[in-house]
Structure 1
Amino acid sequence: MAELVRQGPDPAVHGVVRWRRIDLSRLIEQRYGVTLAERSVGDLLRRLGFQRMSVRPRCPEQDVAAQEAHKMTSRTWSPPASRPEHAASRSSSGARTKLASASRAR
Structure 2
Amino acid sequence: MGRALTIRQDFTADDLRQLARKSRDAALSRRLLALSVIYDGGSRSQAASMGGVGLQIVRDWVERFNRNGPDGLRTGKAKGRARRLNDEQRKALVAAVEKGPVPYLDGVVRWRLVDLVHWLWQEHRISVSRQTLGRELNAMGYHKLTARPKHHAQDPQAMEDFKKTSPPQWQRSPPGQHEEGGKKSGSKRRLA
Q: Structure 1 length normalisation: TM-score? A: 0.54
| AA partner of residue 134 (structure 2) | G
Q: Which runs of no fewer than 5 residues in structure 2 stay unpaired?
A: 1-92, 149-154, 170-192
Kindly provide the CA deviation profile for residues 38-96 of structure 1, in whole angstroms up to 9, marking residues without a partner as x.
Answer: 1111011111111111226xxxxxxxxxxxxx745x462256xx9xxxxxxxxxxxxxx
In structure 1, distance between residues paired with 2:146 and 2:118: 21
The one-letter amino acid of 2:146's match is S
**Aligned match of 1:46 in 138, 145, 152?**
138
SS of residue paired to 2:146: coil
| 1:77 aligned partner | 162
Higher-RCO chain (CA-CA 8 Å, sequence separation at least 6): 1
- How far residue 31 of structure 1 moved from its aligned partner, in angstroms, is 1.1
Amino acid at match of 1:77: F
Runs of 4+ in 1 over 6 A off after TM superposition: none
Higher helix share: 2
Q: Are 2:128 and 1:36 equivalent residues in the alignment?
A: yes
**Aligned mates of 1:39, 1:12 — CA distance in 2:** 27
Q: Distance in 2 between matches of 1:32 and 1:71?
A: 45
Aligned partner of 1:4 in structure 2 is 96
RMSD of the alignment, in Å?
2.4
Q: Report % sequence identity.
A: 26
Aligned length: 67
* Unaligned runs of at least 5 residues, structure 1: 57-69, 83-106
Deviations 1:11-56 (A, max 9, x none): 1111111100000001101111111111111011111111111226
Which AA in structure 2 matches 1:17?
Answer: V
